[in-house]
Amino acid sequence: MPENTSPFKLPPLPWPENALEPYITPNTLSFHYGKHHKAYVDKLNELLAGKPLADQPLEQIIKATAADADKKAVFNNAGQIWNHTFYWNSLRAKGGSNPIGTLASKIESSFGNLDELKKQLVDAGLTQFGSGWAWLVSDKGTLKVLKTPNAESPLTTGMTPLLTIDVWEHAYYLDYQNRRADYLKAVVDKIINWEFAAQNLAKA
**Angstrom distances, CA of residue 66 to CA of 122, 136, 159:** 26, 20, 15
Could you tell me if 107 and 177 lie in one domain?
yes
> Amino acid identity of 185?
K
Where among 42, 62, 89 does a domain terminate? 89
Predicted confidence (pLDDT) per residue in 40-85, tens digit:
999 999 999 999 999 999 999 999 999 999 999 999 999 999 999 9
Give the separation between CA 98 and CA 104, rounded to whole angstroms.
8
Helix axes 114-127, 101-111, angle to 10 degrees: 70
Residue 4 lies in a domain: no
Counting Cα atoms < 13 Å in the Cβ hemisphere of 152 gives 16
CATH code, domain carrying 199: 3.55.40.20
Predicted confidence (pLDDT) per residue in 119-159, tens digit:
999 999 999 999 999 999 999 999 999 999 999 999 999 99
63-71 LR contacts (CB < 8 Å, sep 24+): 63/155, 63/156, 66/156
Residue 54 lies in a domain: yes
Strand segments (E) across 82-201 = 132-139, 142-149, 160-166
For residue 138, what are the β-bridge partners? 143, 160
Q: Is the pLDDT of residue 2 over 60?
A: no
Domain count for the chain, please give it.
2
Give the separation between CA 70 and CA 73, rounded to whole angstroms.
8
Could you tell me if 107 and 44 lie in one domain?
no
Give the separation between CA 74 and CA 9, rounded to whole angstroms.
15
The number of beta carbons lying within 10 Å of the beta carbon of residue 134 is 25
pLDDT at 96: 75
Share of the chain above pLDDT 70, in %: 97
Residue 16 lies in a domain: no
